[in-house]
Copies of this chain bind each other. A is one copy, B any other.
Amino acid sequence: MLEELKEIVLEANLELKRKNLVIYTWGNVSGISREDGLIVIKPSGVAYDQLTVDKMVVVDLEGNIVEGDLKPSSDTATHLVLYKNFKEIGGVVHTHSPMATSWAQSGRDIPCYGTTHADYFYQEIPCTRIMTVEEVDSAYEVYTGKVIVERFRDKDYNYTPGVLVAGHGPFTWGIDPDNAVHNGVVLEEVAKMALNTFLLNKTSKGVPDYVMNKHFYRKHGKNAYYGQ
| A→B interface (CB under 8 Å) | 23-26, 43-46, 70-71, 74, 96, 98-99, 101-108, 113-116, 130-131, 133, 136-137, 140, 167-169, 182, 185-186, 189, 192-201, 204, 206-208, 210-211, 214, 218, 225-228
Contact call B227/A167, Cβ cutoff below 8 A: no
Contact call A208/B133, Cβ cutoff below 8 A: yes
Contact call A228/B196, Cβ cutoff below 8 A: no
Docked Cα-Cα span, A39 to B198, in Å, equals 37
Q: Which residues of B contact A108 (CB under 8 A)?
A: 200-201
Q: Which of B25, B204, B226 contacts A74 (CB 8 A)?
A: B226
Q: Which of B114, B168, B182, B195 contacts A196 (CB 8 A)?
A: B195
Contact call A211/B167, Cβ cutoff below 8 A: yes
In this complex, what residue of B is CB-closest to A111? B105
Q: In the complex, what's the smallest C-beta–C-beta distance from A167 to chain B, in angstroms? A: 4
Q: Which residues of B contact A225 (CB under 8 A)?
A: 74
Contact call A114/B24, Cβ cutoff below 8 A: no
Docked Cα-Cα span, A206 to B168, in Å, equals 10
**Copy number in this complex?**
4
Contact of A105 with B98 at beta-carbon distance under 8 Å, contacts A71-B228, A189-B23, A211-B167 already known: no
Most B CB atoms within 10 A — which of A43, A130, A136? A136
Q: Which residues of B contact A46 (CB under 8 A)?
A: 228
Q: Which residues of B contact A71 (CB under 8 A)?
A: 227-228
Q: In the complex, what's the smallest C-beta–C-beta distance from A72 to chain B, in angstroms? A: 10
Q: In the complex, what's the smallest C-beta–C-beta distance from A194 to chain B, in angstroms? A: 8
Contact call B211/A130, Cβ cutoff below 8 A: yes
What would 24 A/B residue contacts be, using CB atoms closer than 8 Å? A24-B186, A25-B227, A26-B116, A43-B228, A44-B227, A74-B226, A74-B227, A99-B196, A105-B113, A105-B194, A105-B196, A105-B204, A106-B197, A106-B204, A107-B201, A108-B201, A116-B169, A130-B207, A136-B211, A140-B214, A167-B211, A195-B200, A198-B199, A199-B199
Q: Which residues of B contact A102 (CB under 8 A)?
A: 193, 196-197, 200
Contact call A114/B103, Cβ cutoff below 8 A: no
In this complex, what residue of B is CB-closest to A101? B193
